[in-house]
């Protein structure tokens, strides 16, 4: 009989825990691989309830690890999202509320914190951040979206891992795919039958929408293939056990009521994570999480320290370890209409506050009209019945002309009340505005008060003035672009 066998059970457990900790330490600092999609609705993934779209690798990752159910970004546009992700700072602080924005030069991001800890920190694929001094990644370029980039991502990942292993350095690798960003060009469309798809209730069911869903779902599935490829590469190299592996959907799709809005469908992001020995299989986090929480989390995972003021987000390290952790009472969001193609000088800011149950959306310029480039044709058709057009928005307008019951949703594309209140417990798709419901007066008062306090704190007490200042500061660039179009 061995010495260990003769020990009492309590001491045995302690010995095994010591061995487990020693084994983890022997592997060195943990690595990080973060896969980021592009304009992908979280509810396109099977793990979040989609029964049509095929995402077996993401779903397996969720069953093997941890799924975040209430993770939110601050702005549903690519550049603001990514700069919040990499810096851990809000877009109000970095100056990145608007589309195609760049951060203030003194912004610090993940490379600033991990490189001094001995890490190689690389960004492979889509960047959409700047300036370089604020985001000093090792940049590894992607390729044109007209081709499937998965093989390119795999080859570049292999080369990067080879280099890190030869230098005996830990790594933090972000792989930013273009999949699910329009125009849709990749994936196997034959895997989907347009007529059999389930159309979510926040969209109108038209043949044009179904046809677009087939192309969109094909790209979602292509991204899912990439998740499986990269996981397989880590496993084959025996790196999986010492790697924090995270997959994120980014903000919502370019289809209506998602990207370019403050609706749940735009700001709600999907995140699943796996870290051997830390995350528990099949675990879910139902606490409110902000995109800005990722950067401080990775710093703590790497063994770094966080000083007051470094980040606006908070570390999720305890959550990854399976501990109960409440980080936020509220999450906040914004939309800045200016600097979007076709709408570069239209002022229509939107702000939102969310708790676990309610969304309060504030449309300060509600007397005007909102829009985005994907809906411009439909907007012209509504203004002039003789106008004709193609695409999803146009198909909705045509449907509304025939079926009066659909007019309310088409009207909502461009016209909003000053405030919108949604009870997401009863109305997860935010379809019924409860702002005038007397039952929610106390809720509305509380959320308005906290939203006003937050906006004042970040220098955005008047969102209309904020957007006008952005336009004024961008005026030379906007004029140059207009001249270039002529």
- What confidence tens digit (pLDDT) does each residue in 171-207 have? 999 999 999 999 999 999 999 999 999 999 999 999 9
The answer to whether 340 and 375 are in contact (CB under 8 A) is no
pLDDT digits over 298-322, tens only? 999 999 999 999 999 999 999 999 9
d(CA 469, CA 472): 5
Residue-wise pLDDT tens digits, 96-141: 999 889 999 999 999 999 999 999 999 999 999 999 999 999 999 9
Please report the pLDDT score of residue 433 as a whole number: 97
Query: pTM score, two decimals?
Result: 0.92
Torsional class of 387: left (φ above 0), alpha (ψ -120 to 50), beta (otherwise): beta
CA angle 201, 206, 212 (to 5 degrees): 90
70: tokens are 């209430």
pLDDT tens across 263-310, in order? Answer: 999 999 999 999 999 999 999 999 999 999 999 999 999 999 999 999
Closest CA to 429 of 255, 257, 288, 180: 257
CA distance 149 to 125: 9
Write down the pLDDT at residue 434: 98
Which tokens is 171 given? 């790594």
Q: List pLDDT tens digits, range 11-22.
A: 443 443 333 333
> What's the CA gap between 136 and 123, in Å, rounded?
9
Q: Nearest to residue 276, comparing CAs of 23, 42, 34?
A: 23
Residue 115 and residue 121 in contact, taking contact as beta carbons nearer than 8 Å: yes
Mean pLDDT of the chain, nearest integer: 91
> Which token pair is 420?
């919108």
> ∠ CA 138-187-232 to the nearest 5 degrees?
55
What structural domains and CATH numbers belong to the chain? 28-328 (3.40.720.10), 334-370+416-485 (3.30.1120.10)
Is the backbone peptide bond immediately before 131 cis, with ω within 30 degrees of 0? yes
């Amino acid at each position: 009989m061995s010495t260990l066998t003769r020990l009492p059970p309590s001491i045995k457990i302690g010995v095994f825990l010591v061995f487990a900790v020693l084994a983890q330490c022997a592997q060195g600092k943990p690595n990080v691989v973060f896969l980021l999609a592009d304009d992908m609705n979280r509810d396109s993934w099977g793990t979040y309830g989609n029964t049509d779209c095929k995402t077996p690798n993401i779903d397996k990752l969720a069953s093997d690890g941890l799924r975040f159910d209430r993770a939110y970004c601050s702005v549903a546009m690519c550049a603001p999202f990514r700069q919040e992700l990499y810096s851990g700072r809000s877009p109000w602080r970095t100056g990145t509320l608007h589309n195609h924005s760049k951060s203030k030069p003194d912004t610090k991001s993940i490379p600033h914190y991990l490189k001094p800890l001995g890490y190689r920190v690389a960004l492979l694929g889509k960047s959409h951040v700047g300036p370089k001094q604020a985001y000093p990644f090792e940049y590894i370029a992607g390729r044109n979206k007209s081709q499937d980039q998965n093989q390119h991502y795999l080859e570049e990942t292999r080369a990067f891992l080879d280099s890190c292993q030869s230098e005996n350095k830990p790594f933090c690798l972000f792989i930013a795919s273009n999949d699910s960003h329009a125009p849709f060009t990749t994936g196997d469309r034959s895997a989907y039958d347009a007529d059999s798809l389930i159309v979510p209730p926040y969209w109108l069911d038209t043949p044009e929408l179904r046809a677009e869903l087939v192309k969109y779902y094909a790209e979602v599935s292509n991204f899912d293939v990439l998740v499986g490829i990269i996981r397989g590469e880590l496993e084959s190299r025996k790196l999986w056990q010492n790697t924090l592996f995270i997959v994120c959907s980014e903000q919502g799709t370019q289809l209506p009521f998602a990207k370019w809005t403050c609706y749940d469908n735009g700001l709600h992001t999907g995140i699943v994570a796996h870290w051997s020995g830390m995350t528990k299989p099949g675990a879910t986090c139902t606490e409110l999480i902000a995109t800005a929480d990722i950067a401080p989390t990775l710093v703590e995972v790497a063994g770094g320290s966080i000083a007051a003021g470094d980040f606006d987000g908070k570390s999720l390290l305890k959550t990854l370890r399976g501990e109960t952790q409440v980080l936020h009472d509220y999450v906040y969001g914004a939309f800045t209409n200016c600097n979007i193609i076709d709408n570069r000088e239209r002022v229509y800011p939107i702000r939102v506050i969310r708790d676990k149950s309610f969304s309060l959306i504030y449309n300060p310029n509600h007397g005007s009209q909102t829009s985005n480039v994907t809906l411009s044709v439909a907007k012209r058709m509504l203004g002039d019945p003789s106008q004709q057009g193609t695409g999803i928005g146009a198909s909705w307008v045509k449907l509304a002309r025939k079926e009066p019951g659909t007019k309310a949703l088409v009207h909502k594309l461009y016209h909003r009340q000053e405030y919108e209140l949604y009870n997401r417990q009863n109305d997860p798709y935010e379809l019924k505005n409860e702002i005038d419901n007397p039952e929610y007066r106390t809720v509305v008062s509380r959320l308005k008060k906290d939203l006003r306090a937050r906006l004042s704190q970040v220098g955005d007490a008047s969102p209309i003035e904020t957007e006008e200042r952005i336009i004024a500061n961008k005026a030379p660039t906007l004029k140059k672009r207009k001249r270039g179009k002529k």
